[in-house]
A and B are shown apart, each in its own frame.
Chain A
Amino acid sequence: MEKILEVKDLRISFHTFSGEVQAIRGVNFDLYYGETLAIVGESGSGKSVTTKSIMRLLPENNSEIKSGQILFDGKDLTKLKDKDMQKIRGKDISMIFQDPMTSLNPTMKIGNQIMEPLIKHQNMSRHAAKERAIDLLKLVGIPKPEIRVDQYPHQFSGGMRQRVVIAIALACNPKVLIADEPTTALDVTIQAQILELMKDLQKKIDTSIIFITHDLGVVANVADRVAVMYGGKIVEIGTADEIFYNPQHPYTWGLISSMPDMDTDDEELFSIPGTPPDLLEPPKGDAFAPRNPYVMKIDLEQEPPFFKVSDTHYAATWLLHPDAPKVEPPEAVKRRQSQYQGTVGVGNGVALEKDKFPGKKEGK
């Protein structure tokens, strides 16, 4: 598979009154053509900062890219001049924001807002751009687009506004679409519609999507691959099946078991104790160590490298080291592992052995 976007050893800090907040501390990932990569994590884990840095939307006065590269089409986006970046932003890479109530301009007709990128990037005439805007509204499922195109955002409901935002983002057929919690502000029934729409459109115009969310249900619905972020780093990355049915990092275990599914009848919900790390003074070893029930001495001293679980699945936890003691994951995770072994045979890409840690473990 071909890569469209490569993020290499990205480190980003914010300079605040209380000191330097190391929001991103060495993030690496690739985005392939036509895939959907979901980034999950709690607020403050760095998922939004990562994607905003790809769009170069971080505030210039207090943020700093300490190191790393973002390669798109052979160009390093971190080094581009503002003017060159403007040619990419909204055209090749575009973004859908979380809150459809605030991401549209309330004083502009939605037609004009959709036409803006078309006129700017594709040198369309106003007339042609309006035709295209109507087509786009039709594409995202807004009834009576000929009338709606001349209306203002307040005349649309939340779900309809998010459709408009999607139409704007898709106007120039972007190669990469970044969706930052696009459904969090919406109701479940509307959320289901928007997710279906996005999947449908992805097939039609063949973009790659980076999907940020903290809702694991949504991830299971849309993602081909999943990256789990914690404390400014990716702690586990793999295909959706690998992350949901064979997770390796204790933080992923915690996330998955703290969500009740429809069959959960346990007396107490599994919860991750404690609070996320303070990135003003990031901990020395594994950032998750203070909340990790499986913590080992080395977690407090040295950051774990990525261990390979399969060709597509990596996790940064010392538990995967050959010398680590074998630990039992929480019940909910074990249930998933066995369920998965039942439904998907071995040899289906993932080699699941009886051993809890499948595959040969080697440092990367």
Chain B
Amino acid sequence: MAQKEKLLEIKNLKQYFNTGKPNEVKAVDNVSFEIYKGEVMGLVGESGCGKSTTGRTIIRLYDATGGEVLYNGVNVHGKKSKKQLKEFNRKMQMIFQDPYASLNPRLKIADVIAEGIDIHGLAKSKEDRMNQVYELLETVGLNREHANRYPHEFSGGQRQRIGIARALAVQPEFIIADEPISALDVSIQAQVVNLMKQLQKEKGLTYLFIAHDLSMVKYISDRIGVMYFGKMVELAPADVLYKNPLHPYTQSLLSAIPAPDPISERTRKRKSYDPASHNYGDNESIEFREVAPGHFVLCSEKEFKQYQAHYKH
């Protein structure tokens, strides 16, 4: 892989809830990874594994308990003036999972989309503002007539397009898409994914794509991270992860996806994952290690050697 520019560096990110109390939850526990400029990074895992929390902590919807998020070398968390924060918010945007809950039902579509434009003062005049809205609507495959309608007049797929238009309004560099398609019908999912891919190419965007639909993640992502119980257990280029999953949890996750293919379904063997199967000793250090270039696995020293041996074959 050619040396790519790092857009985002996440270092030992920790997000604990109810800290200090008996019901403390380590939602994100010591997660580190990088996102390169112009790539799509996929994040998968079961519900409750901390993938959404990771996304939300990166964009500072939560204050991190520990660790840092560097965007272009600048720490996202930590003390900032209002102006700095505003600037940062313009570069990073989010698309939410539920298109029914994420649009204010009392605002017209034009105002939903233009909210960011207003806050950041990106429009010179009222006319300019509306022109930007029209342009955005057309970019995401809607009509300019839609600007004066309310959210309830749209279908789920259309609403998700509006959500995308809103994210694009402030001309961001980086978009976090938190399960953007899981609330949509199959035939509409493909439309939205195609749109996101096309926009990425045209505008040179970088995505963090969070989802549990692994086949769609494989399709859209360049690299994929797998999370389990707040920890990143494996990170690799999309093809590698699917062809050569090393961590037993990744293997079990991949073996659980039903394929639209009756013949292979009949012969499918499902693997289940038991965290106790590692048999880690007390003094073994479990770290995120690079087994092969670009392929990281959470493992002990002993497993690390096994995985490396696996690669040589």
Q: Interface of A with B (CB < 8 Å)?
A: 42-43, 187-192, 195-196, 214-221, 223, 240-241, 244-245, 254-256, 258-262, 264, 268-273, 275-276, 343-344
What is the interface size of chain B, counting residues whose CB is below 8 A from a CB of the partner?
Answer: 40
- State the CA gap A275–B160 with chains docked (Å): 14
Query: Smallest Cβ distance from B262 to chain A, in angstroms?
Result: 4
When distances are taken between beta carbons in the complex, the residues of chain A under 8 Å from B193 are: 269
Query: Smallest Cβ distance from A38 to chain B, in angstroms?
Result: 11
When distances are taken between beta carbons in the complex, the residues of chain A under 8 Å from B158 are: 275
Query: Smallest Cβ distance from A92 to chain B, in angstroms?
Result: 29
At the interface, yes or no: B62 with Cβ under 8 Å from chain A? no
- Given A42-B186, A258-B186, CB of A217 within 8 Å of CB of B253: no
* Partner of B214 from A188, A221, A275 at Cβ < 8 Å: A188
- Given A268-B194, A269-B193, A271-B191, CB of A260 within 8 Å of CB of B216: yes
Would you give the 0/1 interface string for B242-253, flagging 1 where the beta carbon is closer than 8 Å to chain A?
A: 100000000011
At the interface, yes or no: B285 with Cβ under 8 Å from chain A? no
Q: Are A192 and B258 in contact (CB under 8 A)?
A: yes
Q: Interface of B with A (CB < 8 Å)?
A: 46-47, 155, 157-158, 185-191, 193-194, 197-198, 212, 214-216, 218-219, 242, 252-253, 255-265, 268, 270, 272-273
Query: Smallest Cβ distance from B158 to chain A, in angstroms?
Result: 8
Q: Are B262 and A256 in contact (CB under 8 A)?
A: no
Most buried by A among B185, B189, B214: B185
- State the CA gap A256–B262 with chains docked (Å): 13
* Partner of A189 from B190, B252, B260, B265 at Cβ < 8 Å: B252
When distances are taken between beta carbons in the complex, the residues of chain B under 8 Å from A240 are: 262
Q: Are A258 and B187 in contact (CB under 8 A)?
A: yes
- State the CA gap A258–B186 with chains docked (Å): 7
When distances are taken between beta carbons in the complex, the residues of chain B under 8 Å from A255 are: 186-187
* Partner of A215 from B187, B258, B265 at Cβ < 8 Å: B258
Which of chain B's residues has its CB closest to A40's CB? Answer: B186
- State the CA gap A221–B218 with chains docked (Å): 21
Can you give 17 contacting A-B residue pairs, CB < 8 Å? A42-B185, A43-B185, A187-B47, A188-B257, A191-B256, A192-B256, A214-B186, A218-B258, A223-B262, A244-B260, A258-B187, A259-B260, A261-B259, A268-B194, A269-B194, A271-B191, A271-B194
* Partner of B262 from A192, A220, A269, A275 at Cβ < 8 Å: A220
When distances are taken between beta carbons in the complex, the residues of chain B under 8 Å from A191 are: 256, 258
- State the CA gap A190–B265 with chains docked (Å): 17
Query: Smallest Cβ distance from B260 to chain A, in angstroms?
Result: 4
Which of chain B's residues has its CB closest to A226's CB? Answer: B262
- State the CA gap A196–B268 with chains docked (Å): 11
- State the CA gap A215–B188 with chains docked (Å): 13
- State the CA gap A99–B42 with chains docked (Å): 27
- Given A188-B253, A189-B252, CB of A261 within 8 Å of CB of B261: yes
Q: Are A269 and B219 in contact (CB under 8 A)?
A: yes
